[in-house]
Amino acid sequence: MKHLRYMTYAMGRIACLALLAGMVGCARSGLDSGEGTISFSFREDDAVTVKGAVRNDVGYTLDIVDQKGDTVAHYGDHRTVRTIKLREGVYTVHAKDNTEASETSLFGEPRYGGTETVTIEAGRNTPVLMVCKLLNVKVQVVEFAQEIRENFQEYSLVVKPTEDYAGRDTLTFTQTEVDAQQTGWIDQTEKGRFVLIFRAVNRQSPEKRQIYIRTITDAEPADFYRFTVKLNTAGDPSDGGAMFRLSVKTDTKEYEFPFGVKDQTRPVPTVTRADGGDIREPLMTNVDTRNGQIRLNVHADAGIQRLRVRHESADVLLKWGLPAQVTLGGDNDMATDEAQRGQLAGIMTWDEGSVVGETDTWLDFSGLMNTAQSGGELLPEGNYAVDVEVYDFDNQMVTQTVTLAVARDFATGGAMSGQLVNGMPGVGARYAYVTAKWMGDQTPTGLGFQYRELGAGDNAWKTVSVGEADIQEAEKSFRALLSGLAPETLYEFRPVGDDLTPGTTAAFATDALTGLPNLDFEGGSYGSFDGASDVYDPNIPGESRFWATGNPGGKYMGSMGLNKNVTLPVTGDEARTGTSLWMTSYTVSKMGVNSLASGTIYSGTFGPVSGIPTTSDDQRAFVHYGQPYTARPLGLKGWYKYIPQAIDTDIDNKYPGLIGQMDQCKIYISLEKWGSGVTKRPDKPTVVGYGELMSGATSGSADQNGYVPFEFKITYTSADVPDHIVMCATCSYLSDDFCGGAGSSLYIDDFELIWEPERLSAGR
C-alpha cells in the first residue's frame, strides 16, 4: 500500500541537479592536495508541477555531513553558494527548500527535500542527480454533510501537525473553503501523524461549542487526504456516543470512523516490533534456517477495545492456517477469544487472557513463519502484507500494515545493464556493476559478491568485497564492480556476507569489445584515393578503410593546388615508436580557393573530389564523419606532441577575437546514435557518450622524443548502445570552421581504447 501511494506522487516532485567536481589541471588553483570542490545547480521538473507554476524563486538550505556525522558546511540558501571546498571523502548532502509560510498563504505550501550520498575525489568530476521529493501532505475537505449544514450555524475542520501546535500554517476549512474546493498542505510529524479538530455550534444551543478530535496516524510524504464530515445518525454504541463521523479517502484506501470528544482523547494506539526494528521494514525469517522471531507489541493508553488481524492472501496465508480476519475483543466474549487461541495454536499467539481493557499486549506470528505446514510444505518464500487494527476506548482506531517475509539473507538485485554508473554503462565488455540488498535490520559485515562464468563449477567462484562508499545503509543496498571479465560472455553472481547464507544467483552478459584498426599508425600507404593521386592514406592496405584525412583535397590538381599531404607518417626521431602521424596546417589561396588546410585524421570518408571547391561550404561538404560502431569503450589513451602557432586565419570571419591567440589541438571520440538505416551523419546526432582532449603546447622528455601521454574518459549520458563512432585528431581545434594557425603541428602515436574502469586514471 505504501509503495502504491509513493508511485501515485512520483511525478509531483522537484529534480535537483547537483554537480560535484574534483578540480583538475589549472582549475586546481587554490586547492590543497587531496581536496576537491562541490558546486550546485537546482532546477524544477516543470513537466508536472503541484501548483501549476514553476517556482524559480525558491531557495534550498544545504547541509553537508561527513562520515562521522559532523556537519561540515551549512548554507541557508543555495543561491548564495558557488563553490565549496571539501577534503576527499564520502559526504551526505541534505537539501530542503527554505520556503516559509507567508501571512497571506493560509493553506500552506508544498515542501521538498532530498538526500544524496556522494564521494569527493581530487581530480574527478562526479555529476549527481538529487531528486527532491514532496515532504508534506496534501489535504482537502470535500464536504460537510447536508445534515450538518442544516443543523449547525457554525462548523469548521482544523488541520494541524499536533493538537497544541500554534503556527500560522494551521489549516482551517469552513463551508467557504469547501465550496471553493480549497486544498492545503500540512507538515505531518516524523511518525506520520497530524490532527483533525472539528468544531460545531448547534443552531438550537448557540452558547455551546462542541469540539471533537481525530488523529491520522499513517500519513506519508506526498499523500493526498480527502475528508468528508458526516452526522452520526446511526448511533452505534461502539462509537462511544460520538455525534460525528469522519470519512477518509486517499489514493489507496477509503475508510470511516467516529470523531472522539476532545477532552477524552489520549494518545493513539501504537503497533511496534518487539525487536525494536522499524515497523516499515519486513519482519523476516530465513527461508533456510526458519529461526526468525516475528512478534509485535500493541499499546493503547486508553485501553484496547478491539484488536483485529486481517490479510488478503487467500492463496497463501489462508492456506497455511491464518484466517482472513481474526478479531479479539469487541463483541467477543472471553470464551470466544480462548477458542480462537486453540484454533490458531502453531499459527498466531497472543498474551494470556482477554485483550479488552489491556494497555499492552503482543501478537506472535513465529509459528506461521517457521513451522506451519500445508501439504507437507513450509510457508513459501515471499512477502505477505498483514493489517493490525487497534481500536481503543477513546474511539481511536489505528491500522498498521506490517510485512511478514520469508526470505533469504539477501535479495539479489542484478547487473546494472541499461543504467549508468558515474557516467559509464553499468555493464561493459570487461566489467559489470552488480547490486543486492540485505534483508535484516543490521548492516552485515563482510559484504561482497561471488561471480563466475555461467555454468562453471563450484571451485570457479571468485569473490570481490564491497567498499564502504558502495554501501547505502538507508536503502540497505550495496554494489560492487566485477572486473577482468571476458567480452560477450554469460556470468552469474550472488551476494555474500559474514555468517550469512549466500543469496540467489542472477545472470548477465557482458558487452561486445570492438577494437579500431591501426591505432598504432604503423600501417598506411601512398596511392590514388578519393579523386586525387599521390595521397597518403592511413589505413592498412587491403583492409576496409576506416580512417580518412583531408589529404585528397590537398593533393587535388597537383601543382595547380596546394599539392601537399597535410597528414603524413613520420619515423625516427620524429616518431615515438616505429611510425607516428604528423598533422600540420597550411593557408591556401589558389585557383579561387581560400582555405586553411588542417592536418586531421577522423573516422569516416572524404570526397571524392571532382571539382574546385571555391567556398568553405563546398570544402566542408567533402568531409563525412562517422563509421558504424556498436561498442562502448570507456576512454582513450595514447601519446602526442603539439607545437602550436598563433591563430592567423579565419576564413569565414567567425572568430575575429581569436586572431593572435595560440592555436590548440583536439582529440575526441563521439559515440552517436543515428538510427536504423541512416548512413549520413545527422545535423544534430544523438550523442550517447563523449570525451576529448584539448591542449596547447607540450613539453615532453627526450627519451620519448618529446611526446607526452594523454588519457580522457568517455562520459556517457545515455545507456543506449551507439551505432556510429566519430573519432578525430586535428592540429587546429577549429579546423571544421577553417580557423587556426598556419604551421600548427600535432604528432600522435600508440592510441589505445580503455575498457576497464580501474584503468581510468581519473577513477571510476
pLDDT category at 289 given cuts 50, 70, 90 is confident
**Mode of pairing for the β-strands spanning 525-529 and 471-472:** unpaired
% of the chain exceeding 70 in pLDDT? 84
**Mode of pairing for the β-strands spanning 137-144 and 224-231:** parallel
Helix (H, G, I), strand (E, B) or coil at 756: coil
pLDDT in tens, 30-60: 445 566 666 555 444 322 223 333 344 677 8
CATH class of 525-759: mainly beta
Higher pLDDT pick, 15 / 645 = 645
Question: Which DSSP helix (H) or strand (E) runs through 704?
Answer: none
Rounded distance, CA 336 to CA 573, Å? 100
- pLDDT value of position 608: 85
- CATH no. for 270-407: 2.60.40.10
pLDDT in tens, 61-75: 888 888 888 888 888
Domain 410-509 has CATH 2.60.40.10: yes
pLDDT in tens, 183-210: 999 887 777 788 898 888 877 767 666 7
- pLDDT value of position 74: 87
- pLDDT value of position 627: 97
CA-wise closest residue to 11 among 60, 56, 44, 47? 47
pLDDT in tens, 145-183: 998 998 888 899 999 888 877 666 689 899 999 999 999
**What does the pLDDT average to over 300-311?**
92
pLDDT category at 559 given cuts 50, 70, 90 is very low
CATH 2.60.120.890 segments of the chain: 525-759
pLDDT in tens, 625-657: 999 999 999 999 999 999 999 999 998 899 999
Higher pLDDT pick, 449 / 557 = 449
- pLDDT value of position 11: 27
- pLDDT value of position 413: 87
pLDDT category at 17 given cuts 50, 70, 90 is very low
- pTM equals 0.58
Helix (H, G, I), strand (E, B) or coil at 239: helix
- pLDDT value of position 495: 96
pLDDT in tens, 699-754: 999 999 999 999 999 999 999 999 999 999 999 999 999 999 999 999 999 999 99
pLDDT in tens, 205-236: 676 667 788 888 888 888 899 999 998 765 44
Q: Are 20 and 139 in contact (CB under 8 A)?
A: no
pLDDT in tens, 574-607: 999 999 999 999 988 766 667 888 999 999 999 8
425: Cα separation from own chain's centroid: 14
pLDDT in tens, 255-281: 777 776 655 457 778 999 998 888 988
- CATH no. for 2-134: 2.60.40
- pLDDT value of position 40: 55
pLDDT averaged over every residue in the chain? 84
Query: At residue 238, does pLDDT exceed 90?
Result: no
- pLDDT value of position 505: 92
Question: Which DSSP helix (H) or strand (E) runs through 368?
Answer: helix 366-370
- pLDDT value of position 14: 36
Rounded distance, CA 479 to CA 465, Å? 9
- pLDDT value of position 281: 81
Rounded distance, CA 727 to CA 371, Å? 64
CATH 2.60.40.10 segments of the chain: 270-407, 410-509
